[in-house]
Amino acid sequence: MKHYHKRHIWYQLFISLFFSLFLAFTLFAYLFGEEETIELPPIYFLYLILIYIGIEVISVVYILLKWHFTTYELTDDAIVLKKGIIYKHKKTLPFSKIHAIDYKQNIIEKLFRIKKLSIDSGATVNADIAEIIIIEDSNRVEQLIKEIQLKRDSNYNEHLII
Amino acid sequence: MEFKKLQKKVCYYWIIKRFIFLVILAIGYVLGIHYVTTEFKLLVIVPGALFLLISLINTFIFPFLQIKVYQYFIDDEKIIISYGVLFRVPIVQIQDISSFQGPIQIGFKISSIIISTARSNVVIKSIDHLLAREIVEDIQKKIHKRLMKENKDEALS
């Protein structure tokens, strides 16, 4: 089983940085208020710092664990994706049932040279669980698409030969 | 056609899962009674008590009935899941298969199988995790076999 590309962790941390700034601004906004209206004892400042550090540590640990517990594998006849820290989810998509393969890359992902490859099974009930998402290096994604197409074709040819 | 039943440990899993919900509900009920003003108390006590009673039945009685009714059947052509309602999924229509394990399920070594077709999702609820793995692999093989047969027929024709 393979993990997503390591740069995905940096990408996630970068995204979480924006939320950290927003959180910091929300928590410490009172510092920039007028002195007459907001006056909190200094111990509250310490509490806020502890809360802020706590949230940050939890989010970093969550990102690392999420990366660690998300793995994928291309077997002979299917793509297998395992994910979930507490709730474990294993998804198996046979090559013969692949409906569409496409990749997405936003501007920040471009900066980190990663691409999001989504493999759709065509199940329309719940779009989120209907597709397998693999986040890899830009070049590796191209390679993966070829690999998947090759395996899908060889599966089909195998049926015809037999 | 021989249907398979769920294991007894699944029943205990359902009880624990629902008991957690019941405890949360009971805490909410007690807090509600304690903090709501007297004129609204009756509005909280009666529906809340009814809801608690239903949850109590759902926690301690329903799982035993559910396990008696719940059964599934898998062969080369189809999967049938029956629990009062009958769900029939032809193997060819399966798009993908997932297995799912929550934290309590991990403790009981059971997992659920979600079978997705283009139209709907069918869940085989809580079976032994090794059996679940076997079933996923088996269904995968059956899809493969079925496709092989279909393509062979197509090529011959």
The reply to whether residue A124 touches residue B100, judged by beta carbons under 8 angstroms, is: no
Q: Structural domain boundaries of chain A? A: 2-68, 73-161
Q: Which residues of chain A have pLDDT under 70?
A: 33-39, 124-130, 156-162
Could you report the per-residue pLDDT of A122-132, keeping only the tens digit for each? 776 665 666 88
- Assess if CATH 1.10.3470 describes domain A73-161: no
Q: Structural domain boundaries of chain B? A: 4-65, 71-156
DSSP string of B46-109, one letter each residue: HHHHHHHHHHHHHHHTHHHHHHHH-EEEE-SSEEEEEESEEEEEEGGGEEEEEEEE-HHHHHHT
In one-letter notation, the amino acid at residue B132 is A
The reply to whether residue B96 touches residue A97, judged by beta carbons under 8 angstroms, is: yes
Angle subtended at Cα B140 by Cα B135 and Cα B144, rounded to the nearest 5 degrees: 145
Q: Please tell me if residue B95 touches chain A, with a CB cutoff of 8 Å.
A: yes
Predicted pLDDT of residue B152 = 74
Predicted pLDDT of residue B29 = 92
The reply to whether residue B98 touches residue A94, judged by beta carbons under 8 angstroms, is: no
Q: Average pLDDT over chain B, rounded to whole?
A: 87
Among the partner-chain residues B114, B118, B147, the one whose CB lies closest to the CB of A122 is B118
- Assess if CATH 3.30.1330.100 describes domain B71-156: no
Spell out which residues of chain A touch residue B150, defining contact as CB-CB under 8 Å.
159
pLDDT band at B84 (very low <50, low <70, confident <90, very high): confident
Return the higher-pLDDT residue of B122 and A129: B122
